[in-house]
Structure 1
Amino acid sequence: MSSNDAIVDTTTPTEEVSQEEISSDQQQQLNAKKLSLQKLRRYDSLDMESARLHGHLRHGSKGAKWSVILSLAFQSIGVVYGDIGTSPLYVYAATFTKGIKHNDDILGVLSLILYTLTLIPLVKYVFVVLRANDNGDGGTFALYSLICRYAKVGLIPSQELEDRDVSNFQLELPNNRLRRASRLKSMLENSRFAKFFLLFATMLGTSMVIGDGVLTPCISVLSAVGGIKEATSSVTEGMIVWISVAILICIFVAQRFGTDKVGYTFAPIICVWFLFIATIGVYNFFKFDPTVIKALNPQYIVEYFKRNKKDAWISLGGIVLSITGTEALFADVGHFTVRSIQISMCTVTYPALILAYSGQASFLRKHNEFVSDTFFKSIPGAMYWPMFGVAMMAAIIASQAMISGTFSIIQQSLSLGCFPRVKVVHTSSKYEGQVYIPEINYLLMLACVAVTIGFRTTEKIGHAYGIAVVFVMTLTSSFLVLIMIMIWKTHILLIISYVLVIGTVEILYLSSVLYKFDQGGYLPMAFALVLMAIMYIWNDVYRKKYYYELDHKISPEKLKEIAVDTNFCRIPGLAVFYSELVHGIPPIFKHYMANVPALHSVLVFVSFKSLPISKVPAEERFLFRRVQPNDLNVFRCVVRYGYTDVRHEPEPFERMLVERLKQFVREDHVFVAMVRDGNQESTDDDDDEKANNVNNAKKAENNEKVAEAMEREIEVLEKAWRSGIVHLVGENEVIAGKGAGIGKRVLINYAYSFLRRNLRQTDKVFDIPHKRLLKVGMTYEL
């Protein structure tokens, strides 16, 4: 950014600012800082203007009423817990794949399930990880965003001073233990490897969660449909597979209708599900073997490992399925609040699951032979068909929730330049996080159908499922340790305790599920590798393009040449030129002017920028900058979004842009007048009444001139708006530069070009009207 550009942040209030409406707050800031206009122009932002808005409530920390919290807690049951709630369908079957060899093995497994449920979902996620939300939003990208905001580890140099003045950007940091935090922060900022590794880990974790979105519908629906076998022996395995495929297709086809009332629609069903499994658990507990309460003694875990040794370690891959869907606790916190999820987990989900697993263990103590169909065999006869119906609905809900979560994750990665452009449809005006991505939906459907037909049984799918679950949990713990050290500045003993207890448990489970790599565990790895390749190719070229534009941006001197060149003519209208470059004017504008020697009366360069935060308040979204010389009427505008913001507001983007631009012009003129008046006051002699009167008269005269200049410029903008808007979009062809290696040529010329040709272009993503669209072509040699 050149020092010749005068830059003003238009963090505009809703009311229009006039000459007389100069706030005393701004005047005090001006007088305190004693800024001159010359000094002001050396800044890349106006700290006073951008810091004007404060006191915004954070989504994750706002003090909601208890009635609202309880309502959200109820809704969260239907959205968050479908996956973990349906785990009792298959956990014991996946754990005892070779049958039960010793009756006390059931107590050992139950003890493992109880302590795993307590340590991972309850202690780790509900009471620790949920605190690491990003202004109320969770997931792998939320953790990465927190780290990016505190340490400069982003790989694209689009950071601006103004971004830190967005109210949601600021972090509340404790002041103790600074040395350890500063040392880690410095290490991350100075290590290019660390920056790449953090992005790589985030992409890998995201890919694993998407893989989870493929496997959850398969195993949930297949397990629920399998209950038909208990009612009739005429149903074969093949019939169960094809019924499951039909249900899966229906689930994915229904996604396009959205989930506007997902919470209130699904919550009663999942509540009934939890009530049923808890009631049946209590019934089986008292009917068959109440002594399973002994499993609270961890000694049974030790004896279980002594008896079974390697087989016990391998069986951990089945036990870990009891906590599938735990990541949804964190990923879906943006739809609710931390407190609401804590309440629903502690009062409904956790107790119901404990009772369900204990009841099944009591049943198995008397019926070892039914371990492969524990869930449906343990249902009392009169409850069978109601339970089967509720199980089917719960499985569908678990699938739907995970698919929706996958859409949200891809939206986040898309916003941060880590995924190719796809169309994101917001299915609800009430719930911002509810999105639908058509291309991804049908790719997931094909993947689910293929997995269901190929694996056919829950046992084989379970081998694949565990790797995705445990890997994401381990990655979350790694990011959380960085946050504990850098941001929370947690006591070192607590960090060590967390790593030794939670970390050890997760590493143990991860080692077990990796052992089954050749039995289906390769599947999520294959999904992850494909998605990682797509993300890496897109992000790598995206960064190279940005650096190319940054290195070849148009200088202020070149703009001045355009301004005085008599060969250029001005035509009526307003041109909006879209670019990804935040700093400066992109090189494609020079290419445009070389071929079309005409300039619209007003030109605005618009860059859509994603900040590493979840949401940007609407009043802080537009950041305008005036490009010198003023008589060109050229402006630059950065439209800032968080990764969960809705990009298409109900009001047309064009109208919002013009209104905010007029607001910026008003504030710009008023602000310059304030600075000039403040400078004059600082040189006045307060004892000279005559001089003061003269200065007051000059101020009044200058204010009239400012008002006239402001109205003239506003009139130019309105005239350009009435004449029509033209949208100019760069149609960039990206090729590898001369002398590039074979790897770089394959990456850019073939892999990236293939993705770009087969996915949506900028005008389709941003819904630019085709009647007013003009594409400008240019070749970038990277």
Structure 2
Amino acid sequence: MPLKLNFQSMLDIKIIIKETWRRTILLTVQSIGVVYGRLSIAPLYVFGSMRPKDIDSDERLYELFSFIFWTLTIVPLLKYAVIVLRADDNGEGGTFSLYSLLCRHAKVGLLPSDESSDEIMHYETGSTSPGKKNSRARRAIKNNKISHYMMLLLALFGSCMMIGDGVLTPALSVLSASKGLQLSLAKILEKYVPVPTACFILVCLFSVQRYGTHKIGIIFAPVVIIWLFLISGVGLYNIVHWDHRILKAMSPTYMFKFMKHSTIKSWKLLGNLVLCIAGSEAMFTDLGHFSKKSIKIAFVCLVYPALVLSYAGQAAFISKHLIPHDDEVVCVTQNASSEYFHLRESVPNHTGSSEVVRHFFVVLSLFAAAVGSQATITATFSIINQCQALSCFPRVKVVHTSNKIHGQVYIPDVNWLLMILSIACTIGFHEILPLGNATGFAIISGMLVTSCLMSLVILLYWERSWLLAASFLIFFGFVEIMYLSSSLLNFYKGAWCLVILLVFCMTIMLSWHYGTRKKYEFDLENKVPVDWLTDLSPGLGVSRVPGIGFIYTEVVTGIPAFFSHFITNVPAYHQVLIFVSFKLLPVPHISPSRRYLIGRVGPKEYKIYRCIVRYGYCDQVRDTDDFEDHIILSIGEFISREEEDVEALTSPERRMVVIGNQLMDENTIVSVPRGSDSETLSPPVDPSGSSCVTPNQKKVRFMLPPKSPAMRVSVRRELQELVDARESGTAYFLGQSHLSVQKRASFMKKFLITTYVFLDKNCRQPPVALNIPRAALLEVGMLYTI
């Protein structure tokens, strides 16, 4: 018998390992189509964004290829795959995940959710790090408020660069592929304009985003895999056939030669070379869509070697076709007089079917270009989702496209805005060079932000020496500043477009963060103590009406100012009151079993409860139809467990209990769909003993199980009152803020508040985000003077 058990255990382990590897392989294939589509199409426009006259000798070409090889090795392979991917925030990546690590472990947060009632919000969530020793560096940064603002600005700047990249990359990649189609159709059509074709492809690309990363990854992955094998095969052919000496340019000595003899004109070429690592940031930003293992396997085993072969092959081809030589006959292609080089020209042209192969190559490049834009689009969705959760972006609808992988999101409003801006850039520039300059500026700026935040993570979170953190910043920062200086030299040749996008995005983010912060501070200063409601309300002649009242508020203690304003003018509130607060914690996810904190407000006979809903910046807790039912079930479980829970938190008001997975047993209420047979368990009755007639029917109703000795009489009575109140109806109270600025305020403050008011009126409204029916909504207006 023991042998059989051991054999079964080993069989179970093998099945688990098999399923794990099967999932890893699936994610690896999907990541090739989503994460690495951008890196894979870079060969379309790296050399294509340079003029042949700027590459005047084989030595200069070898030097440029040496830069490409070592940049691919240092940045995506060493920096991201080996180091930065280890700094994930519970499986999430990106600029804000690094910032959330610093907020949580170095106490540098400036966001509203980081400042009040920390003990309540972080209770038993694991979002704090009590085991971390308070080092000198952590103390210095924690006490320096300016450094807190600098870190927030740095995180917002990096996010804006990623959003700008999400606008420019689709335009650049699709337009580059359309230029190749122009060359293929030159003999068929006298005049072909690639811009309309690029715009049509962009519309199609953004239209399929609603299907989600999972489906898109399955569709796109074969295209990218075929593309990688094709360009690596073409590259290998060109190396062997044209110039195998290009491989010696892998030596770093060629880079030093370039820097030693460089001029301003040659230095500008680095701004084009930086496009070879376009998409590296997506390896970290899209981490929430996949896994670290799948991203590393895909890059090391396929993407990296294919890209090296492709760039080496292009360099070998260019050295024999586009560079004038004095000592040999030059085989000039039919398009050698073209202003720019295109990857299509390097496809072998020695057989009768060569034109067919080239046409296939061009068509595949169009598909690959569309796929390549996917990485930045999904990364932009992830960044904006994190910014919105951290109160740095206006309210927009976020659609979670996967139930298994929390980070896979789609944001419709942002998707269509990106499409409009990408088409505008395509039409406005209609050339590869300015788009390449702007994209390179965005890429290298975002990477530099990641290096700065990553060095702080090494110092404050990993608790390594300041020497190691400084070495990381100096080594990778030097490479990125070198490329940044080159991009700045091309500022007037397209990079200015990115600055406009940066100002636009930063204005939105800073205004929203500032307005949200000031509004929250006003709520804290003007809240009233609980005693006002429980002790003074009888003197005001307040009456109780049947039903449940949900009061949505940002404060987690006391009575919000808008509700006290309502009670003063309309002295009545519901039989059961529930104060609901959504509180973001600087972590990606909060386990459903630790999500709700339930407590009482005032004595038992008042039947007033407080519910604090804690969530991470990647959790979806508001856009659900059954959110109200979860709260009622949680309060029912709280009533059943209140006296026995020895691990309850003692808050400034009363004891609070962590509630998550509701226990469907005989000691609490249960939910059943209306019309089911189990509805007859315990029909609600009013205090007079007659059956209640439900005025507003819900999809789900609540019942008490049959009488059981395990349930105390007082608990059963309170649960029955909760069920009766739910059957009587539900009302929702929201504070409607009206912000105004004092006349003596500075221009900047007036500008930020005015922008916030405009965004607040035109973005997604709180009742929509909370799925509150208009018929049951009560909005209480409050004037906030800042």
TM-score (ref. length: structure 2): 0.83
* Superposition map of 1:2-17 within 5 A: none
AA aligned to 2:257 is E
Query: Are the aligned partners of 1:158 and 1:583 in contact in 2 as well (CA < 8 Å)?
Result: no
Following TM superposition, by how much is the alpha carbon of 1:614 offset from its aligned partner in structure 2, in angstroms? 0.7
Query: Are the aligned partners of 1:225 and 1:240 in contact in 2 as well (CA < 8 Å)?
Result: yes
* Superposition map of 1:242-281 within 5 A: 242-281=196-235
Match of 1:392 among 355, 366, 375: 366
Corresponding residue of 1:558: 532
Q: How far, CA to CA, are the matches of 1:166 and 1:447 in structure 2?
A: 44
Match of 1:724 among 729, 741, 744: 729
Following TM superposition, by how much is the alpha carbon of 1:566 offset from its aligned partner in structure 2, in angstroms? 6.4
Following TM superposition, by how much is the alpha carbon of 1:95 offset from its aligned partner in structure 2, in angstroms? 4.1
Query: Once the two structures are superposed, what CA deviation does each residue of 1:400-427 show, in whole Å capped at 9, x if it has no partner?
Result: 3322221221111011100111222333
Q: How far, CA to CA, are the matches of 2:63 and 2:445 in structure 1?
A: 24
| Residue aligned with 1:499, SS | helix
Query: Once the two structures are superposed, what CA deviation does each residue of 1:353-372 show, in whole Å capped at 9, x if it has no partner?
Result: 01111111111111125482
Corresponding residue of 2:686: none
| Residue aligned with 1:490, SS | coil
The answer to whether the aligner puts 1:194 opposite 2:147 as a matched pair is yes
Match of 1:312 among 266, 275, 278: 266
Q: How far, CA to CA, are the matches of 1:293 and 1:507 in structure 2?
A: 27
Report the more deviating stretch, 443-452 or 126-135. 443-452
Report the more deviating stretch, 540-549 or 297-306. 297-306
Corresponding residue of 1:77: 32
Q: How far, CA to CA, are the matches of 1:490 and 1:423 in structure 2?
A: 40
The answer to whether the aligner puts 1:755 opposite 2:710 as a matched pair is no
Report the more deviating stretch, 603-612 or 151-160. 151-160
AA aligned to 1:755 is L
Corresponding residue of 1:322: 276
| Residue aligned with 2:341, SS | helix
Following TM superposition, by how much is the alpha carbon of 1:709 offset from its aligned partner in structure 2, in angstroms? 2.1
Higher relative contact order (CA closer than 8 Å, sequence separation 6+):
1
Query: Once the two structures are superposed, what CA deviation does each residue of 1:720-750 show, in whole Å capped at 9, x if it has no partner?
Result: 11212111111111112464344433432x3
* Superposition map of 1:662-677 within 5 A: 662-671=636-645
| Residue aligned with 1:511, SS | helix
Following TM superposition, by how much is the alpha carbon of 1:238 offset from its aligned partner in structure 2, in angstroms? 6.9
Match of 1:629 among 598, 603, 606: 603
The answer to whether the aligner puts 1:768 opposite 2:772 as a matched pair is yes
Corresponding residue of 1:337: 291
Q: How far, CA to CA, are the matches of 2:592 and 2:527 in structure 1?
A: 29
Identify if the C-alpha distance between structure 1 residues 475 and 276 changes in structure 2 by more than 3 Å, giving closer, same or farther. Answer: same
Report the structure, 1 or 2, having the larger helix content.
1
* Superposition map of 1:693-732 within 5 A: 707-732=712-737
Following TM superposition, by how much is the alpha carbon of 1:499 offset from its aligned partner in structure 2, in angstroms? 2.8
Query: Are the aligned partners of 1:728 and 1:774 in contact in 2 as well (CA < 8 Å)?
Result: yes
Identify if the C-alpha distance between structure 1 residues 674 and 258 changes in structure 2 by more than 3 Å, giving closer, same or farther. Answer: closer
Q: How far, CA to CA, are the matches of 1:281 and 1:705 in structure 2?
A: 76
Identify if the C-alpha distance between structure 1 residues 714 and 577 changes in structure 2 by more than 3 Å, giving closer, same or farther. Answer: same
Match of 1:490 among 460, 464, 474: 464
Match of 2:65 among 110, 121, 134: 110
| Residue aligned with 2:578, SS | strand
* Superposition map of 1:326-725 within 5 A: 326-368=280-322, 370=336, 372-381=340-349, 382=354, 383-565=357-539, 567-648=541-622, 652-671=626-645, 707-725=712-730
Query: Are the aligned partners of 2:179 and 2:194 in contact in 1 as well (CA < 8 Å)?
Result: yes
The answer to whether the aligner puts 1:207 opposite 2:211 as a matched pair is no
Query: Are the aligned partners of 1:166 and 1:616 in contact in 2 as well (CA < 8 Å)?
Result: no
Q: How far, CA to CA, are the matches of 1:208 and 1:266 in structure 2?
A: 25
Query: Once the two structures are superposed, what CA deviation does each residue of 1:320-369 show, in whole Å capped at 9, x if it has no partner?
Result: 00000111000011122112111111001111101111111111111125
| Residue aligned with 1:205, SS | helix
Q: CA RMSD in A?
A: 2.5
Query: Are the aligned partners of 1:305 and 1:312 in contact in 2 as well (CA < 8 Å)?
Result: no
The answer to whether the aligner puts 1:735 opposite 2:688 as a matched pair is no
Corresponding residue of 2:82: 127
Query: Once the two structures are superposed, what CA deviation does each residue of 1:624-681 show, in whole Å capped at 9, x if it has no partner?
Result: 1211122211111111111111235666111111001111121212237999xxxxxx
Corresponding residue of 1:780: 784
Query: Are the aligned partners of 2:235 and 2:313 in contact in 1 as well (CA < 8 Å)?
Result: yes
Corresponding residue of 1:239: 193
Following TM superposition, by how much is the alpha carbon of 1:621 offset from its aligned partner in structure 2, in angstroms? 1.2
Structure 2: tracts of 5 or more residues without a match? 1-16, 324-335, 650-707
TM-score (ref. length: structure 1): 0.84
Identify if the C-alpha distance between structure 1 residues 253 and 592 changes in structure 2 by more than 3 Å, giving closer, same or farther. Answer: same
Following TM superposition, by how much is the alpha carbon of 1:191 offset from its aligned partner in structure 2, in angstroms? 1.6
AA aligned to 2:116 is S
Query: Are the aligned partners of 2:99 and 2:453 in contact in 1 as well (CA < 8 Å)?
Result: yes
Query: Once the two structures are superposed, what CA deviation does each residue of 1:681-719 show, in whole Å capped at 9, x if it has no partner?
Result: xxxxxxxxxxxxxxxxxxxxxx99992222222111111
AA aligned to 2:238 is N
| Residue aligned with 2:614, SS | strand
| Residue aligned with 1:380, SS | coil
Query: Are the aligned partners of 2:531 and 2:602 in contact in 1 as well (CA < 8 Å)?
Result: no
The answer to whether the aligner puts 1:224 opposite 2:177 as a matched pair is yes
| Residue aligned with 1:670, SS | coil
| Residue aligned with 1:356, SS | helix
| Residue aligned with 2:155, SS | helix
Identify if the C-alpha distance between structure 1 residues 226 and 127 changes in structure 2 by more than 3 Å, giving closer, same or farther. Answer: same
Following TM superposition, by how much is the alpha carbon of 1:132 offset from its aligned partner in structure 2, in angstroms? 0.7
The answer to whether the aligner puts 1:161 opposite 2:135 as a matched pair is no
Corresponding residue of 1:302: 256
| Residue aligned with 1:432, SS | coil
| Residue aligned with 1:711, SS | helix
| Residue aligned with 1:564, SS | helix
| Residue aligned with 2:598, SS | strand
Q: How far, CA to CA, are the matches of 1:673 and 1:457 in structure 2?
A: 65
Query: Are the aligned partners of 2:510 and 2:752 in contact in 1 as well (CA < 8 Å)?
Result: no
| Residue aligned with 1:124, SS | helix
AA aligned to 1:468 is A
Corresponding residue of 1:4: none
Following TM superposition, by how much is the alpha carbon of 1:63 offset from its aligned partner in structure 2, in angstroms? 12
Report the more deviating stretch, 446-455 or 752-761. 752-761
Q: How far, CA to CA, are the matches of 1:419 and 1:279 in structure 2?
A: 45
AA aligned to 1:622 is Y
| Residue aligned with 2:712, SS | helix
Report the more deviating stretch, 261-270 or 558-567. 558-567
Query: Once the two structures are superposed, what CA deviation does each residue of 1:235-261 show, in whole Å capped at 9, x if it has no partner?
Result: 688710111112112222333344441
| Residue aligned with 1:780, SS | strand
Query: Are the aligned partners of 1:104 and 1:304 in contact in 2 as well (CA < 8 Å)?
Result: no
Q: How far, CA to CA, are the matches of 1:237 and 1:319 in structure 2?
A: 31
AA aligned to 1:756 is D
Query: Are the aligned partners of 2:407 and 2:618 in contact in 1 as well (CA < 8 Å)?
Result: yes
Following TM superposition, by how much is the alpha carbon of 1:430 offset from its aligned partner in structure 2, in angstroms? 4.4
Corresponding residue of 1:143: 98
AA aligned to 1:763 is P
Q: How far, CA to CA, are the matches of 1:163 and 1:343 in structure 2?
A: 38
Identify if the C-alpha distance between structure 1 residues 650 and 752 changes in structure 2 by more than 3 Å, giving closer, same or farther. Answer: closer
Query: Are the aligned partners of 2:623 and 2:769 in contact in 1 as well (CA < 8 Å)?
Result: no
